[in-house]
Amino acid sequence: MKEKKRVREYLIRLFELLLSNREKYFYGDCVNSDGRKVLENILAAIVREAPIYRRRIYRIRRSPCYEDIYKLYEEVMKYYGLK
């Protein structure tokens, strides 16, 4: 239980870092190389914690755009009961 809380807090921190620093981590609408590093940490943690999102993660890895990442953020928050 404690581990799940730690992963949840880690995911929230990374999502907020990525989504709130759009000018640093995005070029246009898609992530740049720095943003991709943060995004890969997020996606790896989600796959370990909630494998039901594997298909969506596959699509996001192929086309990592802001809107799709934000939708995933909202879904993960619902998964944890935070929204």
Which DSSP symbol is given to 21?
A: -
Residue 72, burial from CB neighbour count under 10 angstroms (0-12, 13-18, 19+): buried
73: which 2 tokens? 């953020």
- How do residues 8-61 score in pLDDT, each as one tens digit? 899 999 999 999 999 999 999 999 999 999 999 999 999 998 899 999 999 999
80: which 2 tokens? 């944890």
pLDDT at residue 1 in the model: 66
- What does the alpha-carbon distance between residue 60 and residue 23 come to, in Å, rounded to a whole number? 19
